Structure 1
Amino acid sequence: MKKNFNSFADYLKNFIKERDYTLESLAEDLNVSFGSLSHYTTGKRIPKDVFIDNFASYFNLSKEQKNEIKALIELDRSPFLKDRIKLHNKKETPRLTVFSLNTAGEGLLQELSKEVFVLPADLEIYEDSFIVEIRGDKLAPEILNGDRILVESFNFNNWRELDGKIVVIDIKNEKFAKRVGFYDGEAILKSLTGYEKNILVDENIKYVGTFTTLVSRKLF
């Protein structure tokens, strides 16, 4: 990949131009719909892994080229990763956004405030990290009412790597906390309370972060 691209859409548009393709001819060669391919070039939709596999195979791309494309798609799924800056060893104390999570609801996060947190000196965090405060019944034996949990974003190649973990996802600009699971080989997002239906992971689901560290716990 000779040029630096900011998204898979940019890469695909450049690819079409350099290879003298049209959307119609490329869609025909790859056996995909014109509409889907058009959305990929505008960034309205993010292709699934099966498309990338077929794309790389058809054009005989190297493993390195394929991995570079996958890296672009990962950035598209989590655009905040483009501007990640480590705060470790900086003098200033991080000011993090705090979201509340009502365990009686559907897992929707509500923004509460921005607060200054004094964190352990050896804890490396990023500017896109934030805090989730639990309100209501405990979510699991290890997560109690009043707990404040650090949420951090990680690069991952497959949802299998997050199996069993509690993650924050974005659906239509709303953030939800769900637990990752699998059913018939498909990645699903499960309700933390068991009251809502499971959600099948697709291109409309944006990964935001993973519950990682207990920041504070109320003593009753």
Structure 2
Amino acid sequence: MKTKFGIYLEKFMIKNNYTLEYVAKGTESSLSVVGHYRKGIRIPKDDFIERFIEKFISSESEADEIRYIVAYDRTPDLIKKKLEESKVLKEDKQTKIISLPVLGKAAAGLGHANFEDNTRMEILSSVPNVGVPKNAFMVEVTGDSMFPTLSDGDLVIINPLKKEIESIDGKVCVLNYHDQTYIKRVKIKKDEIRLVSDNSDKKRYSDIVISGEDLEYLKCHGSVIESRRKH
């Protein structure tokens, strides 16, 4: 069966009248590799996807969609079968069944080196039917600096639409700062942004204060919608 990314890439190339050679050059890849990706017989690696997005994609939402379909392609067939079966289950007015990619870990403490390369899919069998944004994803929490709001090992659902700094004041967000990935509460002041821990032990978890030119190194991946605790 052809991969979802293969279907996407073929349509993308036809729509933009791009040749195989042009895409290969733009992504610094060989013709055979890109050809395999387009035919859907191989799943692209993360470095190819990021080069493809950087070269050809200007929309952040489309970039998130590409990462999502690649995560789906990597999902084992057994889980895919369960996902397809879940589509025919009758939804009541309160709950529904969805699946979301887990894109890595975010530290509630001292920071992780960006999202880790451990993408997987999680099936959530009961989510309040209030609407999960398109391209939402999950992140695993490590550390206890956000306790009691979040605990080590929690899976949090991220709304990728909430990225603008002005819209996330007071919210718990997944952020990247100087190549480290954090999950912190954002506090915005006139001349600075603070990444704040909910843990009351401020000696261990002091605020991360960002101001001036350092603000350009801060990127928000989205805000937390809810958490799922592993038992």
Report the TM-score range of the alignment, normalised by the length of the smaller protein.
0.3 to 0.5
Structure in which a larger fraction of residues adopt helix:
2
Q: How does the TM-score come out when normalised to structure 1?
A: 0.47
Q: How does the TM-score come out when normalised to structure 2?
A: 0.45
